[in-house]
Each structure stands twice: as structure tokens, then as C-alpha cells.
Structure 1
């Protein structure tokens, strides 16, 4: 049966070819060779680390697992994919998917432990995890900064094909999140929840776009919690699951938090309040919106919730100005999303000018104005992190903290609610399925 995405992928590839032609011409290059990358050996071992191919290689192929492969792009010629697929009885050689790119590109299977033989002629660049010796042998410039900046910018605004892939990744991740919630409510451990997620979303662990964060109780306050307890907790206060899916190279990045049977009523109210904040911020997404200002609006809304819940006294403005909201939420509101979970060019303007985050928000990964076609995450959070809150208690802000309520909330860890949103011509389209 024909692939329903084939037409969209053909259109995506046509636009990609035009972008490369224009970019190479503007910078004076006659071609670029893109290396997919290679898996790395663990030191002193014969086992390889998990591998993911270079983003610009995936932009053409959508193949996250193709190692030792190359793409040659030369204006006026058919793009060539040198597919590393040697004869091997230890491993299954690379298999081509039934997708439009395999017809539009010339695919030359072979063994490419080294760079493929490229006919000399013109000014060539090579990009990717390539050694200086390899680039010298090719007579090519290695990872020229201006070219990389331009190629990164070409990934910022998504084609209809890319949006469709992001949508499917969200759909599959949604299945995983529903299964994770069911496993938690049934009494499962963090590991049980993680395995339920993998099974429902039809992924092996090495295929995840990032390591699943599955934090129960106080673990939910560790922003990038990296373990899975094998035993179920005695008290079931809460569960935070930050987990995604990759479809044809494109990533979903979704977070949900649920109250457990032993949760304080206040925690359930805060979860509902964070869902409301997330929704209000999603509704504010539109072309021309400054993401730094949207991030600051998140802090204002968080301040209102902290005051309304009694965790903080005084005004929402005081909670923001005194740094209280930053202690409760030290991360950014979101980031660009695409082939990479934290996609490229989030801190640069379209002309390549650096846009560093504000000093008071150093973790913000997206600092530019939103444009139609961008895909972003919206992920407000509220956490009880002692190492951030304790310093406030000894200063002027300490008198505004309701320590008794905060201590009761501490075993619940924290809350993060995250959706994936595409900026449209007038507003935004939320790709994330309705997950409780």
C-alpha cells in the first residue's frame, strides 16, 4: 500500500533541495558531504554506546539509526546517499524503508568505514563528526561555521511532512503516557511504569529520543531524574513521566504528572492549576510572540498559583520579583522541537545573531521570536527543590514562604505539564493528544 506521507515527503525534499542550492550558492560552495556518524565504543570495552545519526543527515532521510553513511548534495545533480550496508553475518545490514526519499535520492549501498570516493572539483564542505584527516583527504572544509548556521536555520520552520511526523510521534507517545498512568495507579514501580510505556508506545529503549524520566514522589523534583526504582514506593504520592517517541526521525517530548492515592489534596489542586497554566500559555502561542516574554508570563501565572494555593504569601508580583518563582521553577518554558528534542537554533536570530538567555533565566533554550512553522514545547513546572528553596528562607523572601505547606508538599516532588505545539499562520496547533 502506498505511503500516505509520500507526497508530503516529496514536497519536503523539493524544498530541502532548494534551500541547499540557495545556501551553498550564497556561501560559495559547490557541494556538501554530510556524515551520519558512527557509534562510539565504551572505553576499554568492545560494546558500543547507543547511536543516533547526525541531525542534518536525518533531515533528508529520517533515519536515526544509519551509521557510517554519507549524503552528497551538489546543486544541479541528484543527491546521493552512500548507504553503509556491508555483507555481514554478525549483524543485519541496513535495510531501506519504503519511503519517498529512497526514490528521490540515488542510493549506493556499500562499505563506507571511510568516506566514499568523491570526484574532485569545486569547493566542497564536509559536516558531521568527521576527523580533520578525513576532510583533508577529501579536500573539503570541515564543519564551516557559516554553513552550519545556515543549515540549522533551515530546520527551524517545519514542512507539512515534518509536522505530520511530529503528530504521529505525539500520537504514539500518548499511548505510552496512558499506559504509564495505568501502571502507576495499579501499584507499579518506576521500572514497571517505564516498561509499560515502552510496550504501549512500541519502542525499544535504545530508540527513545531521550531517556525516559519516570519519577515517583520526591524523585519528581529531580529535573532529569535518571533511575528507575524496581520496588513500588510505600506511599504513592505522585508520579512524573517525561517521555517521548521518534517517528521518521522526528521527536515527541511530553510530560505529565499525576497525584497518587496518598497525595495531599493540595497537590491534586496544584496539578490542575498547572494544567490550566499550560493551556493558557499554549493559547498565547502565535507568530510574533517573543518567547522570552512568554516565559516571563509563565512566572507571573506561577506566582498567582503559588499565592492562591497558600504556598506563598503576599502578591504574585512579589513572588516573581523576589526570585521565589525561579526557585519553584528553575528551567525554561520550552524549546524548539524537531529532529532533535532540543532542536537547533533556539538561541539565534534568523540572521545568525546570538540571542543569549536573560541572566535571570539562564536555562531558557528558546530566546527568539516565534514564527509560523516552528514547533515548540510548552512545559511549565512547579517543584519543591530544597537546595533552591532553603537559601530563600534566610533572606527577605523567606517571610513569604509557607514552610509548613511546603514541607507537606515535599514528598510529592514536583509537577511538570508539557505539550508539543506548532506555530501556525495565526495562532498554534497543539499536537499533544488529550492525556489526563
Structure 2
């Protein structure tokens, strides 16, 4: 029986071979050597940091954890994978999965602490390679024009890539459901994290980014990085921002839940942020400027704050006076793929830089949407004292209902994040609903 994912992967490789051939020919290269990378040692120690392979290496292989390995791509020839797999009784040597891509490469096993020799011709070498190593190879190290072209080739996803992101989403959502259930049973942050990892079937070193598990006020720390080992006395709220990686492709999902001791003002705001998100997803289609979509998020957030009497002025005033930016300082979302914050989000297809607007410096995606892009949509609403205190002390402070803000503060914040494919005329949400 034919594996549909294998067929999609073969199509993905066909496209990659064509894309690389056209790009290398245009730039005058006979080939490119791609380094997977190597884990870094902690300073003054013999232990390595967690490792993730270089994105363009993963684009061909889907292998996120292969170290010291090299892929040589020469148009017209079978790509050669120099698989670092030395004899070793301390560690299990690297091996390859039975996947369609392995049928399309020549595999050379051995020890490749240094790169393999290159054939005659003009080559580039890309990845975490120093100038001396590239010089010894006689290759150009990380040429900017080549990297920009290859990055652009990752912006629009193949059917295979979309399928992988979809599978990563399903695994991640299993984790989110388990995390929710653990929280509602009275678990501490560490227990919630362990429940997530178990249900999503991954170890902590394999998650695509450090899971954010914030109970109560910790949910208002945007990249909260700790896990309390004891549950709080009152379970008001839980924010989980956590993903999964499948064949190198990432899911990035956030959910917020109210606990049994949440203030009555909090659950309706979760529903309100979720509704904002669905309105924004419904507006997605090719040609939409993502920066404009981000501004629409602030308009909708302002209306929500006024509706729930957190803001006492008008929605227009809340946006104009920066009130919504204090309640949501991050961008609406970003490109998603091999990297969680995938490449080329702030650069147009022609290479022109597209910096974020001055008033929204955290926005990671500033280009127009195109069919094939996968983006995150993640509106939020937070009580962050260092951002709200200046409002309280300024002239716009009278537009904020500080009594409501104080009631919300112990809950931290709300973020709802899904992963969305831009299709030829609309959007497809790749994130399944929680059961």
C-alpha cells in the first residue's frame, strides 16, 4: 500500500531539486555543501547544549538532530549525505529512518568532524561553518545572495510540508488537552509540563521551543521560562504555549484556560480573545498585508476592552493612545515551518527589507500573505505592570478601569494561537479543536 506522505515527500524533493538547480545556476555555483551543525559545549564543561540541525539541512532531510553531517547538492547528480556515524560505545551511532527521501540520496557513513572534500568547481558551503573551514574547502562561506534565495524557497510550503505541520499540530494538541486536564485536577506547572510531554510523545530536549507553562500571574510573562514544583493556593488560570516537531516541521499552539477560582471577569475575556482570533483568521487570503491584519487585531482588542469595561473611553482612543499596545505588546504572529519563527518574515520576495512599523516593533511578519504560507495567529490580552503603570501615571490613565485591571492581574494573561495555511482564496486552520 502506498504511503500518501511518502508520495508527498517525493514531490517535495522534486521541487527542491528544481529550486536548487535554478538558484545555483543563476548564482554561478556548481553545488552547495550544507552542514547540519554541531552541539555547543557549555563553557568550562564537558556537557553539550541541546541541538537543532540547520534549517536548510532539515529542508531536505527532515532530520532535526543529526550532528556533524553534511549534504552535498550538485544539480544533475544525486545529493550525497555524509552521515556522521562513527563507531562509538558511549553513544548509539546515528541511523536513518525508512523514509522516501533516503531513496533519493547517496549515503556515505563515517566520521565527519571535518567536512568532506569537494569536487572540482565553484561551491558554496552554508551553515555554522567558519571562514577558515570554508577556505580549506575552497568554497564561499554562507554567501548572502544564496541564503536569501534559499530562505525565500521556504516561505511557501509544499503539500508535504503542510501535511507535516498538520501532524505536528495533532500531536501538540494532544499535549494541550493533557495539560489542561492536569491543571484542572490541581497540578503544579512542572506536572502540567510533564503531562504535556507524555501526551505529545516527546522529550523536553526535542520540543521546537521551550514550552511556556504559566499558572496565574505567570501567564502574563510572555516567555515565562520556569516550572513551579508546587501548585498555588488558588488555581485561577493556565496559559500553555507549546508545540511539537514532526519530520522537522513545527507546531506552535497556545491555549488559555480558567481555573476553578478564576474571577468572573476572566472566562468571558478568554472567549473574547478566541473570537478575535477567529475573525482575524477569517480575514486571511492572498494579498492581505499582515501588518494591516496586526492593526486590525488592536482595533478588535480595543472593542473587547471597552465591551468589558476595562477601558472606559472609546475603542478608537484606546488604539490611538497606546492602551491596546500595553495590554498586548507582541505581534499577531509569524511564519511557521522548519523554524518556529521561520525565515524571511521581514523581507519581500525581491529581497527588500520590510521592517516592522515603529509602533509595533515586535511584529515578526511584515509582508503580504501568499498562498502556501503557514502563519500563526495569536492575539493576546495581558496584565503586565511594567507596561500598564506608565499609563496609570499619565493623562490616559483615566480611560482605564483600574479596579478591573487589579481583578485581572492575578490571572496573568490570555493568548490563543493557531497555525493557519493561506490557500488560493482563504485560510485553512491546521490546529484541531480541543476535545
1:152-171 map, 5 Å: 152-171=151-170
Match of 1:41? 41
Find the aligned partners of 2:207 and 2:180 in 1 and give their Cα distance.
19
Match of 2:122? 123
Match of 1:66? 66
Specify the SS of the correspondent of 2:50. coil
Specify the SS of the correspondent of 1:382. strand
User: Structure 1, residues 89-147: CA drift from partner, whole Å, max 9, x if none?
Assistant: 1100111101011111111111100001222x221100000011110010000000110
Match of 1:113? 113
Find the aligned partners of 1:310 and 1:338 in 2 and give their Cα distance.
39
Are the aligned partners of 1:3 and 1:99 in contact in 2 as well (CA < 8 Å)?
A: no
Match of 2:297? 298
Is the aligned partner of 1:310 residue 2:306?
Answer: no
Task: Name whichever of 65-74 and 1-10 sits farther off.
Answer: 1-10
Is the aligned partner of 1:278 residue 2:263?
Answer: no
Point out 4+ residue stretches in structure 1 off by more than 6 angstroms. Answer: none
Are the aligned partners of 1:82 and 1:108 in contact in 2 as well (CA < 8 Å)?
A: yes
Match of 2:211? 212
Quote how far apart the aligned CAs of 1:394 are: 1.8
Specify the SS of the correspondent of 2:109. strand
Match of 1:360? 359
Q: How high is the TM-score relative to the length of structure 2?
A: 0.99
Specify the SS of the correspondent of 2:214. strand
- Structure 2: unaligned runs, 5 residues or longer: none
Find the aligned partners of 1:94 and 1:217 in 2 and give their Cα distance.
42
Find the aligned partners of 1:265 and 1:142 in 2 and give their Cα distance.
58
Specify the SS of the correspondent of 1:241. strand
1:84-103 map, 5 Å: 84-103=84-103
Match of 1:401? 400
Find the aligned partners of 1:61 and 1:107 in 2 and give their Cα distance.
12
Specify the SS of the correspondent of 2:420. strand
Quote how far apart the aligned CAs of 1:4 are: 3.3
User: Structure 1, residues 301-321: CA drift from partner, whole Å, max 9, x if none?
Assistant: 000000000000111110000
Match of 1:200? 199
Are the aligned partners of 1:237 and 1:263 in contact in 2 as well (CA < 8 Å)?
A: yes
Find the aligned partners of 1:35 and 1:2 in 2 and give their Cα distance.
32
Task: Note the aligned Cα RMSD (angstroms).
Answer: 0.8
Is the aligned partner of 1:150 residue 2:134?
Answer: no
Are the aligned partners of 1:218 and 1:411 in contact in 2 as well (CA < 8 Å)?
A: yes
Specify the SS of the correspondent of 1:219. helix
Quote how far apart the aligned CAs of 1:393 are: 1.3
Find the aligned partners of 2:288 and 2:434 in 1 and give their Cα distance.
26
Find the aligned partners of 1:367 and 1:223 in 2 and give their Cα distance.
21
Specify the SS of the correspondent of 1:5. helix
Quote how far apart the aligned CAs of 1:2 are: 5.4
Matched pairs, number: 435
- Structure 1: unaligned runs, 5 residues or longer: none
Is the aligned partner of 1:413 residue 2:412?
Answer: yes
Specify the SS of the correspondent of 2:265. helix
Find the aligned partners of 2:224 and 2:394 in 1 and give their Cα distance.
29
Find the aligned partners of 1:3 and 1:97 in 2 and give their Cα distance.
14
